[in-house]
Structure formats: C-alpha cells, structure tokens
Structure 1
Amino acid sequence: MGFVAWSLTVWARAYCDAGYEAGGRFELNLLLPLFVGSEALVGLVARAIGRRLVLHVPTAVRVSLPTLLVVVATVWLAWWFFATQGTLDGYPGDSGRCPVSNVPPQWPEWIPV
C-alpha cells in the first residue's frame, strides 16, 4: 500500500508538473523507503492492537477485526501521504493541465485532498 501511495503521489506531481523538478523527485525518492517502512509499522501496530482488543470474542470477530484495523490504518496513511505530498496546493505548476490546487482532474471528487 505504501508503494501504491508513493506511485500515485509521483504520478500527480508529474501530471501537474508541480514539485517535479530535480529537487522534488529527489525528495520523493528519499521518502519512498521511509513511507513504505512507516506503512509496515502502522500495519503491525494496528494488527497488535486488534489482537489485543479481541481476546475473548467469537472467532469471526477475532479474525476480522485485526485485519479491518490494518486496512483502515494503511488506507488512511496512504491518503494522508497523497494529500500532503502529491497535491502541493499553490505550487506553480507548468503543465497547465491542473488547477491551482494541483489536484489532477481525474481525481474523484468524493475523496478529499
């Protein structure tokens, strides 16, 4: 999930040409191992918390709650990364394909950035 969020962030920056000069690409390449590692850590912590919460419950809940917490935590962290690093609001983009907010037009309206 971390690699997918990083790839989406790189795509958004390249499409809008906002923060995609040499320094911006270096920043994204530097953030890749850090973000993927933090995604893995969040997943492990969410799994441990989920297992701790469901000690004396039915088997269906014991299996599904930790998995659900991992999915919610990793999706939230991936969305946060894209919203803060992929859409550089007000950054001067040169492509002319994106508005001032640097959110690509293909981005669904129902997902906030």
Structure 2
Amino acid sequence: MGFAAWSLTVWARTYCDAGYDAGGRFELNFLLPVVPAVGALVGLLAQAVGRRLALRAPTAVRVSLPALLVVVATVGAAWWFFATRGTLDGYPGDSGLCPPSNVPPQWPDWIRV
C-alpha cells in the first residue's frame, strides 16, 4: 500500500508538474524506502491492537477485527500521505493540465482533501 501511495504521488507531481523539480524528486526518492516501511509498521500495530481488542470475542470477530483494522489503518495512512504529499496545493505547476490545487482533474472528488 505504501508503494502504491508513493507511485500515485510521483504520478500526480509529474502530471501537474508541481513539486517535481530537483528538490521534489529528492524528497520522493528519499521517501521511497520510508513509506512502505511505515505502512508495514502501521499494519503490524493495527493487527496487534485488533488482536488485543478481540481476545474474548466470538470467533468471527476475533478473526475479522484484526484484518479490518489493518486494512483501515494502511489505506488511511496511504491516503493521508498521498493527499498531503502528492497534491501540493498552491505549488506553481507549469503543465497547465491541473487547477491551482494540483489535483489531476480525472481523479474522483472523494480522493481530494
């Protein structure tokens, strides 16, 4: 999930030409190994919390709660990273393909922050 968020961030910055200069590429290349590692830690933490919460629960809850928390935590963390680092609001982009918010127009409204 972390790699997918990183890939979408690179694509958005390239498409809108916002934050893809030398400093922006350095930031993205530095974040490449960090984002998946943080995503894995978030997933492990969510799984541990889910197991702890479901200790005395019925079998269905004991099996599904940790998995549900992992999915919610990793998707939420990836979406947050992508929304904050992928679409740099107000950054002067030169491509002319995106509005001033630097959100590509073909993306659905629910992904925009």
Normalising by the residue count of structure 1, what TM-score does the alignment of the two structures yield? 0.97
Residue 8 of structure 1 deviates from its aligned partner by 0.4
Q: How many Å apart are 1:111 and its aligned residue?
A: 2.3
Paired residue secondary structure (1:106): coil
Tell me which residue corresponds to 2:81.
81
Aligned-residue RMSD, C-alpha: 0.7
> SS of the residue aligned with 2:11?
helix
Whether 1:93 and 2:77 are equivalent positions in the alignment is no
Task: Output aligned runs, 1:1-113, within 5 Å.
Answer: 1-113=1-113
Equivalent-residue separation in structure 2 for 1:50 and 1:112 (angstroms):
29
Give unpaired runs (5+ residues) of structure 1. Answer: none
Cα distance per residue 1:28-62 (max 9 Å; x no partner): 01011111111000000000000000011111111
Please tell me whether the aligned partners of residues 13 and 20 of structure 2 are also in contact (alpha carbons under 8 angstroms).
Answer: yes
Partner Cα distance (1:10, 1:86) in 2: 7
Structure 1, residues 45-96: CA drift from partner, whole Å, max 9, x if none? 0000000000111111111000000000001101110111001011000100
Percent same amino acid at aligned positions? 79
Deviation at 1:112, TM superposition (A): 3.0
Q: Which amino acid aligns with 2:98?
A: C
- How far, CA to CA, are the matches of 2:57 and 2:77 in structure 1? 28
Q: Distance in 2 between matches of 1:24 and 1:58?
A: 49
Instruction: Provide the rounded CA distance (Å) in 1 between the counterparts of 2:110 and 2:21.
Output: 29
Q: What CA distance in whole angstroms lies between the structure 1 residues aligned with 2:112 and 2:96?
A: 22
